[in-house]
């Protein structure tokens, strides 16, 4: 599998191929230089890059806004509460509301299976949060997960192999589970971004629509 960059929305019901193409382009932008990148900050920064992909694809976005969410069930009825929604966007005449999470797995020898299991759990958490958003006009609710792998200096010679093993398994799972996926691991950034004896080679984004939404 090509680890530099890729997109797969084949089995997904989310028509985001153009958005994800722009997302990859943003991650590869020379603006960041050799010692910086948008993926090694936090969830909020990662979400802004996805929003940029939407804008560049002709959509529009509102981020981090207050709205109603479903709370606890009382006396047979679900209550509502005020909460924060990560992102609303309109694209190709359809409205979407979404919640995002960020995950920082450590890739090492024979870790792919356990890391993929945890990746699926983190996406499930995002979907659960998205399910709690109150819909008004049939908006589609989406869970988003940003994955920022970390690789120890001890595995410097195995960076490509570790990324490929993880991506291959994750991509296969995404296709079977109607999940859109894109990734970007620029060759020039594989070893240039480092902190606490670990490399930060790039980012993966996963998106899935909440069922019956």
| Token reading at 191 | 């070893």
pLDDT for 28: 84
| Token reading at 210 | 């909440």
Parse the chain into domains and list their residue ranges.
5-59+99-209
Single pTM value for the model: 0.91
pLDDT at 74 over 50: no
Helix (H, G, I), strand (E, B) or coil at 142: strand
What would the pLDDT profile of 178-194 be if each residue is shown by its tens digit?
999 999 998 887 787 88
pLDDT at 71 over 70: no
**H helices within the chain, ranges in order?**
17-27, 43-56, 112-131, 159-176
15 and 209 in contact (C-beta within 8 Å)?
no
pLDDT for 207: 97
High-pLDDT (> 70) share of the chain, %: 91
What would the pLDDT profile of 22-46 be if each residue is shown by its tens digit?
999 998 876 677 778 888 889 999 9
């Amino acid at each position: 599998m090509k680890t530099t960059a890729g997109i797969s929305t084949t089995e997904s019901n989310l028509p985001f191929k153009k958005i994800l193409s722009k997302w990859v382009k943003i991650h590869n932008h020379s603006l960041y230089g050799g010692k910086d990148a948008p993926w090694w900050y936090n969830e909020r920064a990662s979400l802004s890059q996805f929003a940029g992909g939407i804008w560049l694809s002709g959509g529009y976005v509102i981020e981090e806004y207050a709205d109603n969410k479903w709370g606890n069930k009382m006396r047979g009825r679900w209550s509502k509460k005020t909460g924060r929604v990560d992102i609303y966007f309109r694209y190709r005449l359809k409205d979407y509301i979404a919640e995002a999470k960020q995950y920082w797995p450590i890739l090492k020898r024979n870790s792919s299976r356990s890391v993929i299991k945890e990746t699926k759990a983190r996406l499930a958490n995002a979907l659960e949060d998205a399910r709690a958003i109150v819909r008004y006009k049939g908006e589609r609710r989406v869970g988003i997960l940003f994955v920022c792998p970390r690789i120890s200096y001890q595995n410097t010679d195995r960076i490509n192999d570790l990324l490929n093993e993880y991506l291959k398994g994750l991509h296969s799972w995404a296709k079977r589970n109607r999940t859109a996926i894109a990734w970007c691991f620029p060759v020039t950034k594989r070893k240039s971004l480092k902190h606490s004896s670990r490399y930060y080679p790039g980012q993966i984004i996963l998106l899935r629509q909440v069922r019956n939404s």
